[in-house]
Amino acid sequence: MSSVIPVAPVPLTKEQAEAMLHHQIKKHHVAIILVHWFNAMTWILEVSTGAALISSRYFRVAPDWYIAMFNGLLGGRANLLQFHIALGVTWILVFLPYGLFGFRTYLRGEMLKVTDRDDMRWLIIRTLQILGKSDEPLPPQGIYNAGQKAFSMVVWMMTPVVMVTGVTMAFRLGSPWVVGWAVVLHFLAVGMIVAGLVVHVYMGAIFPEEKPAFFSMITGTVNELFAYNHHFKWWREMKVAHLAWEQKRTPKDKGVGSDEPEGEPAEKPATDSPG
């Protein structure tokens, strides 16, 4: 492994790029993947049934045939409401512990990390690129890019609002005035998250450049070339950690006669050098 780790992206040779393309780096743990897909499936069902529940003649988000379809599938509006509430409570019971216990170790350190200058530039340049107004290279990013972190911030600000207002509405907690405002705030918070989800799904599942990020939520890994090109800061952290591990495992000036104890080596970082 080379001990020279670049501090900024440098052009790669064809051989280097090919080797990195076929080398996988672990990005997500199993728990993160499971929570992600549980959250995704829950939101699909909750948004679908929630849209069918809004059937006022003054305001609705779904046509009559859509509302009738869901009422028919679940045996009437009462059952539809009970399903929506039961699924929402289940989501809260699963997601709330994840948010509370994962905040310090995962969310604050990776997803909700305060943005820096590179993040702000990334948001501006990426927006201009999508509009066809810029071909400037994107600044280096960490394990999550600025767009992913911005979406996460919206989600984690609005999720408590969705939870509190949902429970208030479902169990009629408070006066009619309180419940009425809970309905309004619930709808607005859900709307903000759904707006972000549209962009999130497009960028992750449809936009060609980000396909490896989508599949990383299935396999848990991304190829090293994608990490180098799109998440250079994270790639460099992995390389530095791996170099430190290699140097600790094979100390300098220790040959065959080393008195290093036998057995399994220290835990290996999540990446291997292609070289």
| The token pair that represents 211 in the structure block | 């396909």
- List, for residues 81-125, the tens digit of each pLDDT value: 999 999 999 999 998 887 777 666 666 655 556 668 899 999 999
Q: Distance between CA atoms of 248 and 169, rounded to whole angstroms?
A: 57
Whole-number pLDDT of residue 274: 45
Indicate the average pLDDT of the chain.
Answer: 85
Q: Distance between CA atoms of 15 and 18, rounded to whole angstroms?
A: 5
Question: Contact, 106 vs 64, CB < 8 A?
Answer: no
Cα separations in angstroms, 168 against 8, 51, 183: 50, 18, 9
pLDDT band at 147 (very low <50, low <70, confident <90, very high): confident
Neighbours of 49 (CB within 10 A): 19
Q: Is the pLDDT of residue 47 over 90?
A: yes
What average pLDDT does this structure show over 58-86? 93
Whole-number pLDDT of residue 275: 43
- List, for residues 189-219, the tens digit of each pLDDT value: 999 999 999 888 887 777 778 888 889 999 9
| The token pair that represents 5 in the structure block | 């780790």
Q: Is 219 helix (H, G, I), strand (E, B) or coil?
A: helix
Q: Is 25 helix (H, G, I), strand (E, B) or coil?
A: strand
Backbone angles phi, psi at 140, to 5 degrees: -60, 145
Q: Is 23 helix (H, G, I), strand (E, B) or coil?
A: coil
Question: Contact, 149 vs 200, CB < 8 A?
Answer: no
pLDDT band at 152 (very low <50, low <70, confident <90, very high): confident
Q: Distance from first CA to last CA of the chain, Å, rounded?
A: 5
DSSP-assigned letters across all residues of 185-210: HHHHHHHHHHHHHHHHHIIIIISGGG
Whole-number pLDDT of residue 273: 43
Whole-number pLDDT of residue 59: 80
- List, for residues 230-255, the tens digit of each pLDDT value: 999 999 999 998 888 888 876 654 54
What average pLDDT does this structure show over 22-26? 93
pLDDT band at 56 (very low <50, low <70, confident <90, very high): confident
Q: Which of 205, 117, 110, 198 is nearest to 153 (CA)?
A: 110
Alpha helical stretches, state H, 54-175: 64-73, 77-102, 117-130, 146-170
Whole-number pLDDT of residue 3: 60
